[in-house]
Amino acid sequence: MSRTAKIVLTLAALSSLGLVWLIAQDSPSNHSVGESEQLIIFNAGSLAVPFKEISEEFKARHPGVKIILEAAGSRICARKIADLKRPCDVMASADYTVIDNLLIPEYADWNIKFASNEMVIVYVENSKRANNINKENWFDILLQKDVAFGRSDPNSDPCGYRALLVTILAEKFYNRPGLVESIKSKDQQYIRPKEVDLLALLETGVIDYIFIYRSVAVQHNLKYLVLPDEINLKKADLSDFYKSASVSLTGKQPGTFITKAGEPIIYGITILKNAPNRKLAMAFLTFLLDADSGGAILEKNGQSLAVPSTTETFNKLPESLKIFALPGSVK
C-alpha cells in the first residue's frame, strides 16, 4: 500500500472516531433527566413505604429513570458511605443529626430538615394486655414477665436511641426511679438493626409491643398507643425538657463516642459530594420536598412535612434548593 493510501485510510478512521465521539456527546442521556439514568438512595427504614411511592411517581414523570432504594437504620446508611465507601446519590435520615455528625463535612456539605414524626408503642389485637394498656401503665405492662417487646439498636438506628430517650423521659415524667434500667435489661434478644425489622415478630406473635414511629403504624395499619407529649419527642415547645435526657452512641471513629440529647424528631436529607448522578438527585429532591408532590405522599403516609426548616448549612445549599430551607445559626 502506498504512503498516500495509508494517510487517506488513517484520516478516514480518525474522522469516523470523531463522528462517534460527537454522536456520544450529543446523546439524550447527556442532556436530559429521564433517559436511562440511575439514582441511588440510602434511606431510613421508616421511609421505606413513602419513598417507594414517591419514587414510582417520580419515575412516571421521568420515564427511563431507575431508582435504587436501600433502606436501613440511618446510622448504618451513613456508615455505608463513610466506612464502606459505597456509591450513593441521596441520603435520607430519620434524624438530621446523623448527617451532621457522621457525614458533614467529609462526605456532604449540607443538610435539609424535611419531615417530623413521633414515638408511639405499636401492638396488634392479640398482644397481651392490649385491652388494658394506656398512657399511665404502659411501662408496667411491658415489664411483665409474659409480655415481650422489641426495639431497634441505638447504634444503628435513631428509633433505637429514641426508644431509650423516651424511657429516660418517662422515668422523670412518671417519677419511676429505675425504669430505664428495667426497660434496657429486658427482652434484649428482640433488638434489631432497624425498627421495621420488628414488624414480622409483632405480626406473628413473637413479641407483643414495639417502640416505633407513628408513621410506621399508620403505613402498616397497626394499633398504637399515643404517648404523652412530654415523652413522645414530638413537640418543639418541649425541647428543653427533651434535652434533659441523653444517650451515648458510637462516634465517627472506632472507640469514639458522641452524646445524643433528646430533641423533637426531625428527618434530614442530603446529596453526597461524590454523588454519581447529581443532576438526577437534584431533580428528585425538588420533587420530594414540594408540598404538592413528594410532600403530599409523605403526609398521606403519616409523615408530616417540615419544610422549610432552619439549617446551619443554608449558605452551602444549591441555590435551587434554598426555597426548602431557612437560615439557621452559624456554628
DSSP string, 26-72: T-GGGT-TTSS-EEEEEEEGGGHHHHHHHHHHHHHHSTT-EEEEEEE
What distance separates the 2 farthest-apart alpha carbons in the chain? 100
Provide the pLDDT confidence category of residue 2 given band limits of 50, 70 and 90: very low
Return d(Cα 152, Cα 163) in angstroms, integer: 8
Nearest CA to 312 out of 74, 119, 108, 69 is that of 108
What pLDDT does residue 329 have?
67
Q: Are 53 and 297 in contact (CB under 8 A)?
A: yes
Q: Are 68 and 41 in contact (CB under 8 A)?
A: yes
Q: What is the mean pLDDT of the chain?
A: 90
Q: What is the pLDDT of residues 27-55, one digit of tens each?
A: 333 335 545 699 999 999 999 999 999 99
Count, residues in the chain = 331
Q: Are 123 and 225 in contact (CB under 8 A)?
A: yes
Classified as helix, coil or strand, 254 is: coil
Q: What is the pLDDT of residues 182-228, one digit of tens each?
A: 999 999 999 999 989 999 999 999 999 999 999 999 999 999 999 99
Q: Are 71 and 30 in contact (CB under 8 A)?
A: no
Q: Identify the weakest region by mean pLDDT among 70-74, 254-258, 300-304.
A: 254-258
Q: How many CA atoms lie within 13 A of 204 on its CB side?
A: 6
Q: Give me the domains of the chain, ranges plus CATH numbers.
A: 34-117+265-327 (3.40.190.10), 130-250 (3.40.190.10)
Mean pLDDT, rounded, for 144-153:
97
Return d(Cα 37, Cα 195) in angstroms, integer: 31
If one compares 326 and 1, the residue with the highest pLDDT of the two is 326
Mean pLDDT, rounded, for 111-129:
98
Radius of gyration of the chain (CA): 24
- Residue 128 neighbours by CB under 8 Å, 6+ apart: 141, 144, 146, 147, 208
The contacts found for 285-288 with CB under 8 angstroms, 24 or more apart, are: 285/90, 285/112, 285/321, 285/324, 286/320, 286/321, 287/54, 287/57, 287/58, 287/61, 288/54, 288/58, 288/114
Return d(Cα 173, Cα 310) in angstroms, integer: 29
What pLDDT does residue 10 have?
40
In this prediction, what percent of the chain has a pLDDT beyond 70? 88
pLDDT of residue 157 exceeding 80, the answer is: yes
Q: Are 241 and 232 in contact (CB under 8 A)?
A: no
The pTM is what?
A: 0.87
What pLDDT does residue 73 have?
95
